[in-house]
Amino acid sequence: MSDVMGSGEHRYKPVEGWGKLPDGWSFKDVGSVAVDSKDQVYVFNRGEHPMIVFDREGNFLRSWGEGLFKRAHGLHIDEHDHLWCTDDGDHTVRKCTTDGKVLLTIGLPDKPAVYMSGEPFHRCTHTAQSPKGEIYVSDGYGNARVHKYSPDGKLLMSWGEPGTDPGEFNIVHNIATDPDGWVYVADRENHRVQVFDGNGKYETQWNNLHRPCAIFCSCRGGKQPQFVIGELGPSLPVNLKVPNLGPRISIVDKQGKRLARLGGKEGAGIEAGKFMAPHGIALDSRGDIYLGEVAYTNWPQSFPGTPMPSHIRSLQKLAKVA
């Protein structure tokens, strides 16, 4: 079983060819993925069909969002199977039903806040929910903030500013919460995840990460939370070929202790057992991992001067090995 990745209780096997698209369709970059209570998998992507839905075996079920989204970035599903879709191209968060009906829009479409003003939003990236249903939005590329909203979309508070000190961000790229209400922020270009209480008070940070891009909190079976983190690899010419920098997936406990690591020793690739650019991540009820990658965007960075293949895998499933 040489294609099995990870170690101990965290071993996974890539499922070749998962996600069967209709003829002529493609994902292009996959910004994020999420799984509902029925283990249906939602793929939020930058192709012609922004939201593509599969069953857990990878059979196509439906699509929606055509003409609605400008640039798919973040996605999470709440306990009521509502989808929170973060579009960094038009600076909004939309709450949708599983068939695409828009229930709430936060932000003004195509009207970004002033760059680094701290006002919402300028290229927001992802959302997470508190145990009370409050919404946290990571914001993002053109801001260095986390915004907290009431369940009906009213701004309650914000925190963060550009920088490297505690509570400061350098591309606040993703966000997650746990059942106790702690908030975990993927501070991508500071190479860390910062941990806050529900009101933005800095608590600690997790280091030994390389450009953490995706973060998912798993609490299956009533166990203590564990976090699955997708890390981007290097993009600078000076360190592009340095081993052990990713791209990869790390699994950590609530204290940030690494439990397992998948891939990342030999750099980016499209072969089984390698990753290109982990960007969105989710687990189903059985613990299988679904990974969305911005592979098309990342190819010129990872393989400069190399012609791009006609097809690059930007979505994959890693089945948990018993």
pLDDT at 252: 97
What DSSP string describes 44-81?
Answer: EESSSSSEEEE-TT--EEEEE-TTT-SSEEEEEE-TT-
Low-confidence residues in the chain, pLDDT < 50: 1
Specify the pTM: 0.96
Query: Could you tell me how far CA 18 lies from the centroid of its own chain?
Result: 19
Enclosing domain of residue 129: 5-320
pLDDT at 222: 65
pLDDT at 180: 94
Domain at 223, CATH number: 2.120.10.30
Which long-range CB contacts under 8 A does 201-207 form with residues at least 24 apart?
202/166, 202/167, 204/256, 205/166, 205/256, 206/252, 206/256, 207/256
Number of domains in the chain: 1
Distance CA 240, CA 245 (A): 9
Distances (CA, A) of 22 to 1, 52, 168: 31, 10, 44
Distance CA 125, CA 56 (A): 26
pLDDT tens track for 228-284: 999 999 989 999 999 999 999 999 999 999 999 999 998 999 888 899 999 999 999
